[in-house]
Amino acid sequence: MGMKGKTARVSEKFPGVEWVEGTGSFITVDTQRCTGCGNCMKVCLADCYEVAGGKARIKGLDLCMECGSCWYVCAEEAIAFTWPKGGTGFRTRWG
């Protein structure tokens, strides 16, 4: 997209958006608290979650758009949500 700065990944699934590497694990699931309800999986448009063995698991944050929906819907407060490292994560010029 010709934006200045670090190189970034793109995805055919979501055009017009780039993801800069090096985010760190900015969203984590506390498996002790997780009840496996799957709400996080249902609201994540980037399909970052799966539920396996009765627990939610982050498959990968590659396409995460940092909306926080998974964190909002987690009634057990099992999901910790922070921001990716400064200057990393998603970016777009079409917002």
Long-range CB contacts for residues 66-75, cutoff 8 Å, separation at least 24: 66/26, 66/90, 69/40, 69/43, 69/44, 69/45, 70/27, 70/39, 70/40, 70/43, 70/44, 71/27, 72/43, 73/39, 73/40, 73/42, 73/43, 74/39, 74/40, 75/37, 75/39
Does 19 bind other proteins (CB under 8 A)? Our answer is no
Site for other proteins in 28-87 (CB under 8 A): 39, 42-45, 47, 65-69, 71-73, 81-87
Complex with other proteins: residue 28 or 83, whichever CB lies closer: 83
User: Where along the sequence are the contacts to other proteins (CB under 8 A)?
Assistant: 3-6, 14-17, 20, 39, 42-45, 47, 65-69, 71-73, 81-87, 89-95
